[in-house]
Amino acid sequence: MQFGALQSVSFSTAMNMSEQSSDVEQAQKLKIDAVCTIVENDGHQHHEGHFHAKDQQGTIFKVEYTGKDPLPSLKEGIEISVFGHVHGGEEPYVHASQVILR
């Protein structure tokens, strides 16, 4: 695990952490334990590197994966850990550099 032993946080906690940091600070790496989720009729085209997950609080969030290793085989309900940082905006998401199966 390239980021060391990170404690898992929820997506909303990660968003709060991101909002409290200044624009000049490097985004804090974090870990979110979640399950892969299929979002029906969300209006977006799904393509390689983009998927949705649901954290332990039940929040569904978008993941944009740009890591160097191929994504593991993701199916509905697969338990994963997502490593990266969050971005706010109209549709907040996690910019992930690593996704592993739990």
The model's pLDDT over 10-66, given as tens digits with 9 standing for 90+, comes to: 999 988 887 776 555 566 789 999 999 976 655 555 567 889 999 999 999 999 999
Q: How many domains does the chain have?
A: 1
CATH number at residue 44: 2.40.50.140
Residue 1: other Cβ atoms inside 10 A: 10
Residue 11: other Cβ atoms inside 10 A: 26
| 3 found inside a domain | no
| 79 found inside a domain | yes
| 64 found inside a domain | yes
| 49 found inside a domain | yes
41 is in which domain, residue-wise? 11-20+27-101
| 5 found inside a domain | no
Q: Say yes or no to pLDDT of 82 above 70.
A: yes
| 2 found inside a domain | no
| 71 found inside a domain | yes
pLDDT attached to residue 40: 62
First CA to last CA across the chain, in angstroms? 12
Residue 86 or residue 46, greater confidence: 86
